[in-house]
Each structure stands twice: as structure tokens, then as C-alpha cells.
Chain A
Amino acid sequence: MSEAVSVMNGAERGTSIRVRDAGLQGMITLRGDLSAAKLKSAVKAATGHAVPKAREIAFADGKGVAWMSPDELLLLVPYGEADAAVASLEAALAGTHSLAVNVSDARAFFAVEGASARDVIAKIAPVDMHPDSFGPGELRRTRMAQAAAAFWMSDAETIHVICFRSVGQYMFDLLATSAETGAVEAF
């Protein structure tokens, strides 16, 4: 088996605002009826978190669950555990209308860190990044310049970005360029 490598292979850029490839992260797309008890308990077993409310994410120590749409969740697990997690999800959800897929290798995962992390995103996404409108615990699916992306904040100075791996280089350069020109001091 070949060695798995994340899209930018751990690259980092910037000093006051740091943009880095956050490495390999196991990601599982789970679609189904989010209100079903079977699905709720399967998600709890796989990630240790309950199904979040709309537009929210629960994430701690490499495991998490994010609300992506009314019938879709993104489960975050350690990279090596993704296949096993999919197998146990499929077993738990057998017979129900649902779908679990390991998409770890189809995604890129970045982190933007620094006091002006909000500004970096505000410049490239049509999202109100004011602390009153968006804060830790929320997940936003949107576009960043020309590519689809999702992001959340783990604290006031750290933003995690997920996008398709095929646009990983574009996204990294975009975030780095946005970070380079510094804060817009809008918040």
C-alpha cells in the first residue's frame, strides 16, 4: 500500500497569520434521515458526538460531526480509522435509506491561525465574518473565490477549511495570498 499524503504535504506559509496544510483527516459523508434514532446512535458511536443542530459542528481531538445539509452529515475521524468507521456505520444503518462513504482522500484540510484569521476568510468568501454573526461551533458551507469550501472556527483565532482535493493547491495559494496582505481591520 502506498503512503497517504495530504494535498500540500504539510506546507505552511505566513508568520503573523499562518496558513497550513492540516494534514490527513478522515472524513465520512453520511446521508440519511438525521432525525432517525438509529442514525443518531450510529453517529454517536462513530464520533462520540451527538448529531448537531443546523449549521453547527462538534469537533474535539480529531473526531467530530458537522451538519452539511438537512440530510447530510460530515463525520470527522482519525485518518486510519475511516474505513472501519464506515463499515460499522453501514452495519448499524443496514436496512435504512442511508449512505456512508469514506471521502478522506477526496478532500483537502487547511488551518488558518492568527489574530486576523477572520479577515483572511472575509476577503474571499461572501460570508459575514463579524463575531456577532459567526463564531466557534458553527460551520459554513460557501465558496472561497472560485472554489466550494466549508469552514469552522475552533476558537477565535483558528479557522479550519475543508475543500475538494482537486482544488487544494488553489485553495492553499488563495488563503496564503489573502493572509499575506494582512488584516482589513473590519472587525
Chain B
Amino acid sequence: MLTLKCPYCGVHADETELHPGSEAHLKRYGPGSSDDEFEGYLFMRENPKGVHFERWRHVYGCGKWFLAARDTNTLEVFGTYSAQTTEPPQEIKEAITAKRPGWSWREFQ
């Protein structure tokens, strides 16, 4: 069972109190983009065995969306952070590097 700390209300929320929201840090390609870019934005998702970044919503609590970094293989959580960001904060990256040296995920490493 996953337990994620909501960065907005500080509650250590059980997985059943949360709603998953797929992959984090998607860049939106809309009108004016190429077909390949739009297809990538719409359909192409990471499916790693290891470090992964996801969106979660604290649906039974404060109702806010936040982002989480975790390992899909071990369920280890590296940290959660505000959704108002386009890339993982430095301390999250450092926490992952400490546990999984040489990790990479999309353009982040």
C-alpha cells in the first residue's frame, strides 16, 4: 500500500484516500504543433520499472493535485511536491540520486 504525503495539507494519505492522475510533467502540444508532437502528448507514456513521476489527487482530503516521485518496482516513495512546477525540484532529484544513482526519466536525470 502506498502512503503519500500531501504537500498541501501535510497529511500522510493512504492510497485509498487518493486518486491517481497518470504521468507527471507532460508538455502540452496543441494547435500549431506537428502530428508527431500531438500524438506523443496524447498517447505516449512512460512505463518504467523503477523511477517514475506521477500525478495524484488528494481526493478525500484537501482535493488538491500534487506530484510524486516513486519507484514502480519497490513502491519506495522519494518525495511529493507541488503540481505548480514543470520539472522535479532539486531536493527530489537528489533524493532519487542518493537511492538510484544514474537514474533517468524522460529528459530528467
CB distance from B20 to the nearest CB of A (A): 15
Q: Write out the residue numbers on chain B whose beta carbons fall within 8 Å of the beta carbon of A148.
A: 60
Q: Write out the residue numbers on chain A whose beta carbons fall within 8 Å of the beta carbon of B13.
A: 126
* CA distance in complex: A154, B53 (Å): 39
Q: Which of B4-12, B87-95, B98-106 contacts A (4 or more CB under 8 A)?
A: B4-12
B48: CB under 8 A from chain A? no
Q: Write out the residue numbers on chain B whose beta carbons fall within 8 Å of the beta carbon of A128.
A: 12
Residues 1-54 of B at the A interface (beta carbon under 8 Å): 8-14, 16-17
Q: Which of A17-25, A92-100, A106-114, A136-144 contacts B (4 or more CB under 8 A)?
A: A136-144
Interface membership of chain A positions 62-79, coded 1 if the CB is closer than 8 angstroms to chain B and 0 otherwise: 000000111010000000
Q: Are A142 and B9 in contact (CB under 8 A)?
A: no
A55: CB under 8 A from chain B? yes
Q: Are A126 and B16 in contact (CB under 8 A)?
A: yes
Q: Are A55 and B9 in contact (CB under 8 A)?
A: yes
Q: Write out the residue numbers on chain A whose beta carbons fall within 8 Å of the beta carbon of B14.
A: 126
CB distance from A7 to the nearest CB of B (A): 20
Q: Are B17 and A143 in contact (CB under 8 A)?
A: yes
Question: Could you tell me the dominant secondary structure of chain A's interface residues?
Answer: strand
Q: How many residues of A contact B (CB 8 A)?
A: 13
Q: Write out the residue numbers on chain B whose beta carbons fall within 8 Å of the beta carbon of A140.
A: 11
Q: Write out the residue numbers on chain B whose beta carbons fall within 8 Å of the beta carbon of A143.
A: 16-17, 60
Q: How many A-B contacts are there with CB distance less than 8 Å?
A: 34
A87: CB under 8 A from chain B? no
A184: CB under 8 A from chain B? no
B75: CB under 8 A from chain A? no
Q: Write out the residue numbers on chain B whose beta carbons fall within 8 Å of the beta carbon of A60.
A: none
**Most chain A CB within a 10 A radius of its CB, from B8, B12, B63:** B63
Whether A70 contacts B16 in the complex (CB less than 8 A), given A142-B61, A143-B60, comes out as no
Interface membership of chain B positions 62-100, coded 1 if the CB is closer than 8 angstroms to chain A and 0 otherwise: 111000000000000000000000000000000000000
Q: Can you give 27 contacting A-B residue pairs, CB < 8 Å?
A: A54-B9, A55-B9, A55-B10, A68-B62, A69-B8, A69-B61, A69-B62, A69-B63, A69-B64, A70-B9, A70-B64, A72-B62, A126-B13, A126-B14, A126-B16, A126-B17, A128-B12, A140-B11, A141-B9, A141-B60, A141-B61, A141-B62, A142-B17, A142-B60, A143-B16, A143-B17, A148-B60
6 closest A-B pairs by CB: A69-B62, A126-B14, A143-B60, A141-B61, A70-B8, A148-B60
- Extra inter-chain contacts (11) besides given A54-B10, A126-B13, A143-B17, CB under 8 Å: A70-B64, A72-B62, A126-B14, A126-B16, A128-B12, A141-B9, A141-B60, A142-B61, A143-B16, A143-B60, A148-B60
